């Protein structure tokens, strides 16, 4: 696009419409960018077109999630936490038990060192050494006169 503008019409779930103009991104061919903050949950309709001609535009729907997964300031649900500890073989503790938890962590034994094994047949040095030694053997036989 040399002369036209890329315009985006955004329609909120309650029917209010807003138009934003996308800016050309430097360094890339045919790339435009813009920003818009979604303020409410629901299905947002987005229509992009070049200039005022909307017959050849692109239309899509964006679904925005409404409520947060965790609401701040709300007390924790003890029944859910107890079920999580039961499923994961964990323990439910209060803030008063923090000192005993620290002592239990300190009393744990050191973890055993991890072994990392590298099979010799899958290493390139093994193949190179084998070819080198066979080459030395062959040259030695040639120099000795044994064919």
pLDDT in tens, 49-61: 887 777 788 999 9
* Cα 82 to the center of its chain, rounded Å: 30
Q: Torsion over CA of 110, 114, 115 and 116, rounded to 10 degrees?
A: -160
116-144 pLDDT tens trace: 888 888 889 999 999 999 999 999 999 99
The mean pLDDT value of the chain amounts to 87
Contacts of 91 (CB under 8 A, 6+ apart): 85
Reported as a pLDDT band with limits 50, 70 and 90, residue 1 is low
- pLDDT of 71 > 80? The answer is no
Residue 21 Cα distances to 28, 32, 39, 54, angstroms: 18, 9, 19, 14
Whether residue 42 contacts residue 12, with contact meaning beta carbons closer than 8 Å, is answered with yes
Distance CA 43, CA 11 (A): 9
- pLDDT of 147 > 90? The answer is no
Distance CA 76, CA 61 (A): 35
Contacts of 59 (CB under 8 A, 6+ apart): 45, 46, 47, 48
Give φ, ψ of 98 to 5 degrees. Answer: -65, -40
């Amino acid at each position: 696009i040399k002369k036209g503008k890329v315009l985006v019409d955004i329609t909120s779930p309650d029917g209010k419409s807003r138009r934003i103009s996308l800016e050309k991104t430097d360094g890339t061919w045919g790339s435009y960018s813009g920003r818009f903050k979604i303020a409410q949950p629901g299905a947002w309709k987005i229509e992009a077109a070049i200039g005022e001609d909307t017959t050849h535009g692109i239309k899509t729907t964006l679904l925005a999630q409404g409520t947060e997964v965790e609401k701040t300031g709300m007390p924790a649900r003890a029944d859910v936490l107890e079920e999580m500890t039961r499923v994961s073989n964990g323990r439910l503790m209060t803030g008063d038990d923090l000192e005993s938890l620290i002592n239990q962590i300190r009393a744990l034994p050191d973890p055993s060192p991890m072994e990392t094994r590298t099979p010799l047949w899958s290493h390139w040095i093994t193949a190179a050494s084998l070819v080198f030694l066979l080459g030395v053997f062959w040259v030695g036989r040639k120099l000795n006169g044994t064919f």
